[in-house]
Structure 1
């Protein structure tokens, strides 16, 4: 009550200053004084009224201006409007950083739709270290409805190709230095970087219209065989995935009959598109003395992840085809604003290297690998691994 009367005295002083000022100033102060009168009545009736903490500057010709008075009055009405929008109910929904963009939408379109349709306010985290969205609403029902809406968006995003795979089960082959050297020589030869300025496709210089550049080659230190692709969008799922792989370790060894697994890489084939418009070029894999055993071991891993709910149904059903990718147009880096080509002409490359024997290699282990993150050895970050049988 005393604080309110004190503020009224300050408004009276501001009035003296505003009497000779603009109509806008007088209008703002008149409205503000009406608000204070209402607050005093409410206090006398012992009705709890929320008021803002506002410091009204003392106005005088020597230290204040018309702009100061108008700014302070405007500040009151803006702050008062904001406080009225904040609901009395709130909840925090855990949303991993990789999925926040789906809830926000392009230009905030999805967020705006939820807020306007349900009548809530969504507060996104201010830093990448936070992974939750705060929902504020006027009722518990509206907050719950918004939470359910967000969960549906997340479920749809996970199944969508717009959310990339974050992890995969790999059989590393880049652990063999001689294979890494062969792949490096292959790239340098194709790109004509051996000092002669010529390519490896019959001695003819490569042309830009072939769609071949270094970015579409798989880095030799990342060379591997893929068993299963995964979308692990939060730490909880990553931890669960590491536990699953460790749990099936003994089953995998038994499936391999405790025998070492060797593979031979030979030739080049096109997986997507024609040779003239290839998308993926790979080397076929021949399992020496036990292809069925290796496929059975990989199937055990896939089924374990499916039972744990960590793999999409369509990926669990997909038939495994072991192969070593050497070129992929999807990895092409944009160098300008022109449309990125989704293919390349592989005819010259296949003609030169179509029957190349890359060698025989031992598969030593299976990794839970994280994409786009790399260890000191240059290979994908290993979240966990299980050993394969050693040489007998």
Structure 2
């Protein structure tokens, strides 16, 4: 049953308030009231990875007014605008066992003080150290006992804005946000500057959830008629607000008892949909007025959603999709799309390159035979996939076969695709501390055709939800040296740690200054790309290349 206004009032003013809050933080693994913890610090360099998907996942499960429309236009939401306008201050954290506890202060929007004459609303939230999942939250405001008020939402966006320079491995920094001012300023003293937009409105960032795409557009609108957060309780919003769009194409059957749909997912996702002690599943069922039947642990099968109203079934399906997408992003990839570049002439030139580098640069820091790619496994990576059961592997193979007719043949038009592999480049901006050194594909008409094909393949596979599209263009590169290979010979060039696994591998960089000086223009020769593989991450086939789950031929 959706929480009513009376239930919220009881939680806030009743005798059981402290008991409810205590149960919440204890369930999240914290034995002490987070407000009473000591040792908080503003240094957030060791926190787990935390993304927009963790925010959406939490708010979808705790707020009936947070639905797919909010995912598309989250920047217009009140909680995001509180963060953007600088009302969140003093974000601090402390490690507490397997969790991180965060404490913030959020200024009210219009009043100088809160109802109890404080300058700030204090709030806390707890996230898992392993996954970055928000486990519990609380705010002192009138609507904060439910753990999903706009002050908590704003605090979560503040944490998400904390970013790390992953390429250069430099110091962490904050995305700069304006701060709210305490005192008004006379018009004559205002300093007006021309707005500077860092986001290109013609090429906005794309967020993909399953087969749906959402654009992150800059917003300048301000809803001056909106009520400030102290004047109403968010949980009293009617359930009609979570009615989803009609563009969804999944099948919903009408039954004698209402409506029903099924979701075919790998069993690895079941525990995340069930949640700790069944809390996530129970909350989904209550807030969407549905019943969700999940197969037993370790048993593959469909999740069945039933409910008296169609919109409830749609909402439950959407929320499960968001949970699955968030979890999938944190899983290590199992397969990848690759273009083998391992012809005999290319392998011979690569072995000559390896011998020359080891002979001339063997005394340089970090250079040894273990960081060189195996010549049989030289390839171009198009994109990585997380395939967790046979159904998903078959789905990827079907997509690959479909791409042959819908993409490969129209783009290549029966003509061979021959590119030149020449020159070296490194992934970061410091040649004395390099993790990945790669050979470049020389620019030209053939390289442009290859680029178009790679980009279109990623676009197509990302619509299935099995591949994540991180950038607008695929970076075509042939990795020849990679420090991850010291410990994991199956590592894929350009691989990133899964979300929530920051720093899971320690890498020892190498000094590539002499390599670039002596071999920066090294010519590996021409190569005709003749096949596209769905490769398995671990293991090797009879030919020494990655195990092939499926492939299509190119002209």
TM-score computed with the length of structure 2 as normaliser: 0.40
Q: Deviations over 1:102-155 (max 9, x none)?
A: 789xxxxx756859x99xxx99868xxx66899xxxxxxxxxxxx999986543
Contact map agreement 1:265 1:358 (CA 8 A) in 2: yes
Where does residue 120 of structure 2 map in the other structure?
A: none
**Are 1:177 and 2:333 counterparts?**
no
Paired residue secondary structure (2:450): helix
Contact map agreement 1:103 1:111 (CA 8 A) in 2: no
Distance (whole Å) between structure 1 residues aligned to residue 447 and residue 457 of structure 2 = 16
Contact map agreement 2:435 2:507 (CA 8 A) in 1: no
Paired residue secondary structure (2:401): helix
**Match for residue 346 of structure 1 among 498, 512, 518:** 512
Paired residue secondary structure (1:326): strand
- 1:177-256 residue pairs with structure 2 within 5 A? 177-190=344-357, 192=358, 199-201=359-361, 205-206=363-364, 210-250=365-405, 251-256=407-412
Paired residue secondary structure (1:268): strand
**Are 1:331 and 2:485 counterparts?**
yes
Where does residue 464 of structure 2 map in the other structure?
A: 308
Paired residue secondary structure (1:374): coil
Q: Deviations over 1:179-225 (max 9, x none)?
A: 222223333443x4xxxxxx322xx634xxx1233332222111111
- Residue 276 and residue 97 in structure 1: after superposition, are their counterparts in 2 closer, same or farther (change >3 A)? farther
Distance (whole Å) between structure 1 residues aligned to residue 377 and residue 327 of structure 2 = 28
Looking at secondary structure, tell me which structure has more helix per residue.
1
Contact map agreement 2:270 2:297 (CA 8 A) in 1: no
**Are 1:270 and 2:426 counterparts?**
yes
| Aligned residue-pair number | 262
Contact map agreement 1:171 1:365 (CA 8 A) in 2: yes
Contact map agreement 1:248 1:300 (CA 8 A) in 2: no
Where does residue 112 of structure 2 map in the other structure?
A: none
Distance (whole Å) between structure 2 residues aligned to residue 215 and residue 111 of structure 1 = 43
By how many angstroms is 1:357 displaced?
A: 0.7
By how many angstroms is 1:352 displaced?
A: 2.2
Where does residue 122 of structure 2 map in the other structure?
A: none
Where does residue 56 of structure 1 map in the other structure?
A: none
Distance (whole Å) between structure 1 residues aligned to residue 270 and residue 354 of structure 2 = 38
Distance (whole Å) between structure 1 residues aligned to residue 537 and residue 474 of structure 2 = 20
Distance (whole Å) between structure 2 residues aligned to residue 237 and residue 133 of structure 1 = 13
**Are 1:366 and 2:501 counterparts?**
no
- Residue 307 and residue 178 in structure 1: after superposition, are their counterparts in 2 closer, same or farther (change >3 A)? same
Where does the alignment leave 5 or more consecutive residues of structure 2 unmatched? 1-262, 284-293, 304-316, 489-504
Distance (whole Å) between structure 1 residues aligned to residue 360 and residue 273 of structure 2 = 48
Distance (whole Å) between structure 2 residues aligned to residue 299 and residue 341 of structure 1 = 29
Aligned-residue Cα RMSD (Å) equals: 4.0
Where does residue 102 of structure 2 map in the other structure?
A: none
By how many angstroms is 1:99 displaced?
A: 5.9
Larger displacement relative to structure 2 (211-220 or 321-330): 211-220
Contact map agreement 1:125 1:133 (CA 8 A) in 2: no
Paired residue secondary structure (1:373): coil
**Match for residue 258 of structure 1 among 406, 410, 414:** 414
Larger displacement relative to structure 2 (95-104 or 290-299): 95-104
Q: Deviations over 1:64-102 (max 9, x none)?
A: xxxxxxxxxxxxxxxxxxxxxxxxxxxxx9874766897
- 1:130-145 residue pairs with structure 2 within 5 A? none
- 1:6-17 residue pairs with structure 2 within 5 A? none
Contact map agreement 1:252 1:300 (CA 8 A) in 2: no
Distance (whole Å) between structure 2 residues aligned to residue 365 and residue 268 of structure 1 = 24
- Residue 348 and residue 309 in structure 1: after superposition, are their counterparts in 2 closer, same or farther (change >3 A)? same
TM-score computed with the length of structure 1 as normaliser: 0.55
Contact map agreement 1:211 1:341 (CA 8 A) in 2: no
- Residue 189 and residue 243 in structure 1: after superposition, are their counterparts in 2 closer, same or farther (change >3 A)? same
By how many angstroms is 1:318 displaced?
A: 3.0
Where does the alignment leave 5 or more consecutive residues of structure 1 unmatched? 1-92, 105-109, 135-146, 193-198
Contact map agreement 1:125 1:132 (CA 8 A) in 2: no
**Are 1:156 and 2:326 counterparts?**
yes
Paired residue secondary structure (1:232): coil
Distance (whole Å) between structure 1 residues aligned to residue 412 and residue 296 of structure 2 = 49
By how many angstroms is 1:386 displaced?
A: 1.6
**Match for residue 295 of structure 1 among 422, 443, 451:** 451
Contact map agreement 2:455 2:472 (CA 8 A) in 1: no
Distance (whole Å) between structure 1 residues aligned to residue 448 and residue 349 of structure 2 = 28
